Every structure is written in C-alpha cells, then in structure tokens.
Structure 1
C-alpha cells in the first residue's frame, strides 16, 4: 500500500527505530540493519536518493508510490552514510556499516602479528587511529567533542593499549603459546576502558539529562552518566570477546598440529575470516545489550535530585 502523505494517522515516525526498542531482539534487529556492511556498496546516486526520500518525508511532502518497506529501506541507507545531527555524509570508514569489515581486518592482523614489538606498536596504533576516525565521524552535533578532547583520548587510548600489550608480551614469554594469543584482547579491553570515559568526560563532570517516562526533563545527573558509560564500555568489550577469544583457540590447535608451519600464509587470512564471522553477529548483538534510553532508580541519583523528585512520587527515571 502506498503511503498517503496527507493522512497523519498513517504517517510513520522514521526518527524512531522500526522495531520495539524495549525488547532485546527489537534492538538487535535495529543494529543488524545499522551495521550491515552491504550498505557500503550503495552508490552515490542511491545515497542521494535515500536522502531525498527521508528529507521530503520529514517535511511532510508527498513521495508518489512510496511503500512502507521502501521508506524504511531509504531511512536505513540514509542512516548508514549521513550524520544524524548534521546531515553530512560521513567518511566511508567512519560509518557504522564499516565496523565489521574494518574491525575484522584490524583484529585479525593484531592477533596474527602479536609477537614482535614493531608489529604490536603498528597494529595497536592503527586500531586506535581507526577508533579516532569513528569517534570523530559520529560525534554529537548538539554537544560536539572538541578536537583537543579527541586528541587527548586518542593519545591516552593508544598509550594504554601499547603499554598493556608490550608489558603482557614480556610477562607471557614463558607461558603456554595460547596465553600470548590473548594479549591483543587485553590491550583492546584496556584501551576501551580509557577511550570511552575520556571521550565522554564532559558528561562525567557535568552530568546528562534524566527524564520521566513521559520524556519530561527532570534534572541532570553525573551518576546516570557514569552508569551509561559503564554500559558502553561493557558492550564494547563484549563485542571483542568472540572474535578475540575463539580464533586464538583455533589457531593454537592448528599450530600444535603443524598446520601453520606447513602453510604459514594461512594465518592472517584465516584469523581475519573468523573475526569477520564473529563480528557480524557480535557487533549488533552487543550494541543491543542495553537500551539507548535506559532506566535508573531515583535512589541512585544525586541527593539533591532525589529531594526535588520526592514530592512527585517518581521511583524510576530514564537517560540516554
């Protein structure tokens, strides 16, 4: 059925996800679409067509013959390439749809070339440089991150990853080979624990808005910011677990059986492929672990906010 732009009751709110975000699988469906690498293959003409449809629909203009599915497909293509706040086309590797192909390549190489100092330095630096591009491309248009903050986060995250990787490599020299293969994961986890809080340090200092169930803003809370950032760190580390735990176990067994010594060129491609398979599922499923609008009990908020809300009888609040 074609959409009638003049019938308000039939209009779709395309500024909200297509699926119910109060359920895990609803969020997972949303992120499977958002991180779909096939969106990288869209031509400039297809991207502009998607932008035209989304722009017209938001303005209430009629798009003749447009169906529900076509509208959602256009919105998904639009979201895959254009910044949600500014509307600018993002650099290719900074898009969410580039996360799986880029991370599978970087992760696979980090786990292949982890024994020499030069290789560790290069791939950890490369990984954090990619993260910096993603952070810059997806920065908030309402509350932009300064170049200084981005630079500080980049330097500290890179330093933390390198310090973790190099120090652990020296400690596990006499440990079983499998232990050494997990060093890149430890470095990535350490970098996430530094990078994300640094990127959102302003929120930790000043707090984030909290609202009631009707969306009415009721205050600003640093405690809610702390909770939200913890959830982001946890989901980011969770994304890395399958791709950085399963492949090392497989590669260790292949090494013990002499497969890698007979076919040394097999190492990097095999790890990249395994990482790709893991990340295809782990990325959207870990993004969906926590709702974008999470709840927090009033008892967990700052005392001054609790006092202000006591007379309202509110027991839970929400934050983004």
Structure 2
C-alpha cells in the first residue's frame, strides 16, 4: 500500500464514474476480513478520521495508507448519514459469510415444500434487515410500514418459489432435462422478484417522502421524491442482478463438474466442493452487483422538482446537479 494516493474525505479512493472503480471500492468494503475487525481497531480508526476532520491530527503522524484503511473500516461499520454503528451481521463484510449457509440451503437442499419455504423465509428475513440497516436514512421510520414490507417480501418469495416449482413439476410437455434446467432457475426468479420487492417495500417512504439531495458543495437543499424514485429503481435493479450468479451458476457449475468427474465421490468432499462453489459465486457476485451504480448517485436539477431547478450555491452559481445517498 506504499503507492496509496493522497487521502481525502471528499471522494472515494477509486474513481466512482467507472464500473471498475466502483468494483474496487466495494470489493474492499465487502472483504470478509473486515468482518473480524476488533472494537479496539474500530475505535482507533474512528479517532483517526475524527482527528483528520477536526484538523487536530498531527501532520505526518499517519500515512495515507493508514488514513484510507481507517476510512474503509469506518465506512463498513458506521451508517454514512446517522453515524450509528451498524449491527455486525448487517455490515457489508458480513454479507458473504452470512449468505454462505443461506444460499447453500436454497441451492443444495432437496426442493421439498418445507425446505423451499424455510430457506426463502430465512433469506428474505436477512435481506429485510440488511436493506433497513443500509437504507437512506432521510425519513422517519414507520414500524407498521416496515412490518408490512417484510411480510410482503416473504409472501412474494415463498409464493413465487413454491408456485413456479409446482408449475415446472407439472410441465409434462417439457422433457426431463428441460424441466430440470428450469427447476434450477426457480430459486433465482423467486429471490430476484422478492429481493426487488423487499428493497422497495422496506424503503417505500423514500418514494412518498423523498430523500435528501445535496448541491455541489455538499449542502442538503431539501428532499426530493424524484431522487427517491431514481435511487430505489437502481436498488431494485441491483437486487435482481445480485442473485443471478449466486443462484444460477452453482447448479450448472456442479453439473458440469459431475460430467467430467471433477466432483468428489465421497459425501464430505462433495459437500465441501458444493459449498466452496457457492461461496466463490457469492463473493464475486456481491461487489459486482452493488457496483452497477455509485453509492452516492447524481441527478440533474432538470430531473428534480421545479423548486430545485433554479437554486444557486454559496458562490452564486446555479446548481446543475445534485447528489444523494442511494444506500446499498
């Protein structure tokens, strides 16, 4: 890390205008190694960043690499708007380890009615918590709305999974191999539909009440429903893309390995291989999906409500673009 660029809090380390830059940014944030960061390290990192912000950090006492590392830790632990510490299991580095048993259950467990409902329920429960913890925190929380959103997502997920599974099972006009291939896509379709619905339902107030938008100087200028709509659209698209490699790839990879005799014959070796394939797919999919859009989105003033289209900054210059926190 000797070649670390000069530190700043004004922009991420990597260029967020490119997909590769966003992928690098999120790959560092979701690295499972950050899951095991101690409270002592978290407190030390926060002290470094707070000292940098206030200007009391002695010049040269901390390297650029150490400053970037401290910022990375703070961004994985604290909510960017509220500053509150996120629950451990809902931090970005926890996503991969938590999803290993969940996705393994959805992909590898026998497709019985109980297994289907159980693993879809577990998955949507975790997604709901993750979505809520990493939401845009502009609005006031509504417990009743959150409960309805969670119930809706679970119903969509379980209903789609069971319904599609039965439909494929009774599709007698298809050959056995075609039904098997379609059956392997059922978990993805159910999770993608429910994932998008989960994100929208859990954050519906961003549509009705709007989200905070900041001008080119980082000053909050109000809340916009149009920005909330763009933000949630991007989140929903991410939720559709995320499960694609996680739930679609493993069954076909494992089947290909089986055909070339690359899958271990003994039970323990086979299970380890299956879980390893699922883990690698999750690890690769998460940063690839959330990098589709920047965490801090940009929207033109002309795409916002009329009251934002003629605002000026402190220099008297017209504000042509605003930013907002999309969340994860």
Pairwise same-fold verdict (TM > 0.5)? yes
- Indicate yes or no: 2:137 matched with 1:115: no
Distance 1:316-1:114 versus aligned 2 partners, 3 A rule: farther
* TM superposition shift of 1:11: 8.6
Cα distance in structure 2, aligned partners of 1:154 and 1:20: 35
Q: Given the alignment, which residue of 82, 88, 92 partners 2:84?
A: 88
Cα distance in structure 2, aligned partners of 1:298 and 1:140: 20
Match of 2:165 in 1: 169
- Indicate yes or no: 2:24 matched with 1:29: yes
DSSP-derived class of the 1:182 partner: helix
Cα distance in structure 1, aligned partners of 2:214 and 2:137: 21
- Matched-pair contact (CA < 8 Å) for 1:207–1:222: yes
Cα distance in structure 2, aligned partners of 1:65 and 1:297: 40
* TM superposition shift of 1:133: 2.4
**Which structure 1 residue ranges, 5 or more long, are not aligned?**
1-9
* TM superposition shift of 1:229: 1.4
Distance 1:261-1:78 versus aligned 2 partners, 3 A rule: closer
- Superposition CA RMSD, Å: 3.3
Alignment of 1:63-74 (within 5 A): 63=58, 65-74=61-70
Task: Pick which of 73-82 and 285-294 moved more.
Answer: 285-294
* TM superposition shift of 1:261: 11
Q: TM-score normalized by structure 1? A: 0.82
**Which structure 2 residue ranges, 5 or more long, are not aligned?**
172-177, 312-317
Alignment of 1:71-220 (within 5 A): 71-173=67-169, 174=171, 176-209=179-212
* TM superposition shift of 1:222: 3.0
Cα distance in structure 2, aligned partners of 1:318 and 1:182: 39
Q: Given the alignment, which residue of 55, 60, 64 partners 2:50?
A: 55
Distance 1:47-1:245 versus aligned 2 partners, 3 A rule: same
Match of 2:230 in 1: 227
* TM superposition shift of 1:284: 1.4
Cα distance in structure 1, aligned partners of 2:165 and 2:217: 52
Distance 1:301-1:71 versus aligned 2 partners, 3 A rule: closer
Cα distance in structure 2, aligned partners of 1:280 and 1:60: 37
- Matched-pair contact (CA < 8 Å) for 2:6–2:64: no
* TM superposition shift of 1:43: 1.9
- Matched-pair contact (CA < 8 Å) for 1:293–1:318: no
- Matched-pair contact (CA < 8 Å) for 2:138–2:211: no
- Matched-pair contact (CA < 8 Å) for 2:199–2:236: yes
Q: Deviations over 1:77-131 (max 9, x none)?
A: 1222233334333222111111112223311211112510111111111111111
Match of 1:272 in 2: 275
Match of 1:4 in 2: none
Cα distance in structure 1, aligned partners of 2:53 and 2:85: 18
Distance 1:262-1:285 versus aligned 2 partners, 3 A rule: closer
Q: TM-score normalized by structure 2? A: 0.80
Cα distance in structure 2, aligned partners of 1:207 and 1:259: 52
Task: Pick which of 129-138 and 211-220 moved more.
Answer: 211-220
* TM superposition shift of 1:309: 4.8
Q: Deviations over 1:36-59 (max 9, x none)?
A: 110012122222211221222222
Match of 1:14 in 2: 9
Match of 1:3 in 2: none
Q: How many residues are treated as equivalent by the alignment?
A: 309
Cα distance in structure 2, aligned partners of 1:194 and 1:156: 8
Distance 1:223-1:87 versus aligned 2 partners, 3 A rule: closer
